[in-house]
Amino acid sequence: MIVLGVDPGINCTGYGIIETPGKTLAFGTIRPPARAEFASRLLHVSEKLGEIIDAYRPEHCAVENIFHATNARSALVLGHVRGAILLTALRHGCRVYEYTALQIKKAVTGQGRAEKGQVRSMIGILLKIPVTGMAFDSADALAAALCHANTYRTQTAMRVVERAR
């Protein structure tokens, strides 16, 4: 199974693609032009994400969900970015799953309140990749992909057991 993880942001959107059981295919960031208008920045994120999906053909897309924001404007902006990401993933044939930052951090580090550096370090350990210099946004996206891969595998196994009963 190929999973795309996405950490939404208007200035920097992180992405990470893994193939289960733990092979890293790609990761990086999408950075719209800083001076571009808001709608153009959303379009940039959508187009670049579409190119990534076309290149790697992930079946599933795990996106970090909004659980709180420092202010209403930040939440609204992030909501727009997430909307562009969700629509792009769906239009390119991905099944979309959403996880809170707490769920993602707990799945990767065992602690829901882990710091970004801890998440990045665990990504390096779990995926056996160098993380020195890796953007936190990329690490968070890979963490979302790992969270989904493990959650999906567990839920699938539980459904099999339930059907066998």
Between 136 and 70, the higher pLDDT residue: 136
Domain that holds residue 123: 2-164
Between 65 and 155, the higher pLDDT residue: 65
Type of residue found at 124: G
For the stretch 78-123, pLDDT in tens is: 999 999 999 999 999 999 999 999 999 999 999 888 999 999 999 9
Q: What is the CATH number of the domain that holds 96?
A: 3.30.420.10
Please tell me the total count of domains within the chain: 1
Joined together, the tokens standing for residue 147 give 């969270």
Q: Point out the residues that are catalytic.
A: 7, 64, 137
For the stretch 15-65, pLDDT in tens is: 999 998 879 999 999 999 989 999 999 999 999 999 999 999 999 999 998
Class of residue 95 by CB neighbours under 10 A (exposed 0-12, middle 13-18, buried 19+) = middle
pLDDT surpassing 90 at residue 71: no
